[in-house]
Amino acid sequence: MGEVSTIGLELAKNVFQVHGADASGAVLFRKKLRRHQVLTFFAAQQPCTVAMEACGSSHHRARELGRLGHAVRLIAPAYVKPFLKRQKNDAADAEANCQAAQRPTVRFVAPKSEQAQVAALVFRARDLLVRQRTQIINALRSHLAEFGIIVTKGSAHVPHLVRAVEDEAQPIPELARPIVRMLIGALRVLDEQIVRLDREVAQWAKENETAHQLMTIPGVGPVPAVALTALAPPAGTFSCGRDFAARVGLTPLQHSTGGKQKLGTISKMGEETLRRLLIMRANSVSL
């Protein structure tokens, strides 16, 4: 029996699947582990390569297994799928992870530190609240439009909505007025929470050297700077700027064959949030 070279780990909530192989790819073991058995199992293994899909909880597991001396490889699910044989199940997924990690051309995802994940949490929480605020503003506009009160879209015109609701002379039914005021109250709470998170983002951008350097780029403020440091891989991962553009889906799709280049619209692959922020900031600079 050969020495374990690579272990494929299929992450789950409670039941994990592992697949061990030697350097030639021969199967050495297949095991099913409960959550409390995972660290004990890997602590008993000699240092080797552990392959997982880059998904929920994978960065946490990568840090834990890295402390045990293993070399952790996180793989994008799209790169694992070609190695999946016929039926999909946890055992087959673990084997696919193992086989993908042994291919020399497969690209890996860099595990994130806790600090980077905290920054991502702050940014994503702010992004969520901003979307909720937009939903409430749109709901207020549409509800008031039913009673003949038309207000221009955009957060800058929210005071007009509030004044219309508070104005007793406006043709809003008395039964509807308390409900609309409830939405306005929720909007004010969201505004306070977003302001608080804006301060967190600004503080993070001020303390983080990479974010501070990014803010020297025209159009890049604290929010996109923190998003880039939290959501994008380290700059050393890319050999040039075009590689980063491909990572966030800003390069054209290719349908080339026979030596003829056929380029389409941007691929929209990768991190959607970063792509949206970069396009918005580029438009603000160009305008």
Domain assignment present for residue 65? The answer is yes
97 and 127 both lie in a single domain: no
| Distance in angstroms (rounded) separating the CA atoms of residues 132 and 5 | 48
Domain assignment present for residue 217? The answer is no
Q: Residue 171 — very low, low, confident or very high, per pLDDT cuts 50/70/90?
A: confident
129 and 157 both lie in a single domain: yes
State yes or no: pLDDT of 1 exceeds 70: no
| Distance in angstroms (rounded) separating the CA atoms of residues 13 and 111 | 20
42 and 16 both lie in a single domain: yes
- The strand pairing partners of 175, in sequence order, are none
pTM (predicted TM-score): 0.82
Q: Look at residues 194, 212, 230 and tell me which one is the last residue of a structural domain.
A: 212
Domain assignment present for residue 134? The answer is yes
| Distance in angstroms (rounded) separating the CA atoms of residues 171 and 163 | 13
Average pLDDT of the chain to the nearest whole number: 90
Quick one: pLDDT at residue 92?
95
153 and 79 both lie in a single domain: no
Closest CA to 228 of 91, 141, 116: 116
Q: Look at residues 167, 195, 212 and tell me which one is the last residue of a structural domain.
A: 212
| Distance in angstroms (rounded) separating the CA atoms of residues 159 and 144 | 13
| Distance in angstroms (rounded) separating the CA atoms of residues 266 and 254 | 9
For residue 172, count other CB atoms closer than 10 A to its CB: 20
State yes or no: pLDDT of 197 exceeds 80: yes
138 and 70 both lie in a single domain: no
State yes or no: pLDDT of 2 exceeds 70: yes
State yes or no: pLDDT of 147 exceeds 80: yes
Domain assignment present for residue 21? The answer is yes
Q: Residue 287 — very low, low, confident or very high, per pLDDT cuts 50/70/90?
A: low
Domain assignment present for residue 12? The answer is yes
Average pLDDT, integer, range 34-48: 95
- The strand pairing partners of 19, in sequence order, are 8, 30
Domains held by the chain: number: 2
Q: Residue 156 — very low, low, confident or very high, per pLDDT cuts 50/70/90?
A: confident
41 and 135 both lie in a single domain: no
Top-confidence range, 89-103, 108-122, 203-217, 256-270: 89-103
15 and 101 both lie in a single domain: yes
Which contiguous run of DSSP H or E holds residue 75? strand 71-75
- The strand pairing partners of 15, in sequence order, are 34
Q: Look at residues 155, 183, 212 and tell me which one is the last residue of a structural domain.
A: 212
Domain assignment present for residue 10? The answer is yes
State yes or no: pLDDT of 281 exceeds 60: yes
Q: Helix (H, G, I), strand (E, B), or coil: what is residue 8? A: strand
% of the chain exceeding 90 in pLDDT: 49
Expressed as residue numbers, the domain containing 151 is 115-212
Quick one: pLDDT at residue 39?
95
62 and 125 both lie in a single domain: no
- Paired sense of beta strands 71-75 and 49-53, if any: parallel
Quick one: pLDDT at residue 98?
95
State yes or no: pLDDT of 43 exceeds 90: yes
Closest CA to 79 of 67, 65, 97, 63: 97
127 and 170 both lie in a single domain: yes
Domain assignment present for residue 192? The answer is yes
Closest CA to 172 of 189, 157, 184, 155: 184
212-258 pLDDT tens trace:
888 988 888 898 988 888 888 888 888 888 888 888 888 898 888 88
- Any idea which residue has 């994503």 for tokens? 124
Quick one: pLDDT at residue 257?
87
